[in-house]
Amino acid sequence: MRHKCTVCNNEFELAEDTLPFCPACIKAKMKHPKGLSPKHTSGTAPLNASYIADGVDPEVIYDYMAGGAHPGPSGCKVFYSTKHKSFNAVSHMPLGQIPGSGNFNGKPQANQFAVWVDIDGKSAQGPHLMFEDETHLNNRVRTSEWVPAPKCANCCKVVVRTKGDICLNCKK
């Protein structure tokens, strides 16, 4: 369902697999260019960086996860970080299978998931891109460092900030 943001007037799609908040407002809070930190940028990344974003287009990945116009199943899964008290959106499919991934087909990096960390933008970096392999991601979930974000009390599909809340789609 489409909504008009009460903060910035942007129109955005809200569904089960989209980012749960206005994508334009999230973008406005990014402190790094396009949300990509030097840690993940080719040339400035440290040796042990989880992913060096050579060829990656953070904007394309963002639009894909936000629910922009694109073919096929899209989107993200949202977790709440109990450690950082923030919402993090993980791409539905690993990088090799989503737009904006760069040319990593067949390389290990292609198996990593794109993660938008801190989509509320409360941290010093604001919302920013990170990359996680499946094992590490599962570990975070297993240890409850990351827990699935609460879902709307009515439709049980759309992510809400607080358990018991009703999503915009269900509000009359």
User: Where along the sequence are the contacts to Zn ion (CB under 5 A)?
Assistant: 5, 7-8, 10, 22, 24-25, 152, 154-155, 158, 167, 169-170
Nearest Cα residue to 144 out of 80, 87, 91 = 80
Minimum CB separation of residue 106 from Zn ion in Å reads 39
User: What stretch of H or E contains 88?
Assistant: strand 86-91
Instruction: State the virtual CA torsion across 126, 26, 90, 158 in degrees, nearest 10.
Output: 140
Residue type, 92: H
| Residue placing its CB nearer to Zn ion in the complex, 53 or 149 | 149
Minimum CB separation of residue 14 from Zn ion in Å reads 9
| Residue placing its CB nearer to Zn ion in the complex, 123 or 154 | 154
| Residue placing its CB nearer to Zn ion in the complex, 53 or 158 | 158
Helices (H), the chain: 23-28, 58-66, 134-142
Minimum CB separation of residue 1 from Zn ion in Å reads 9
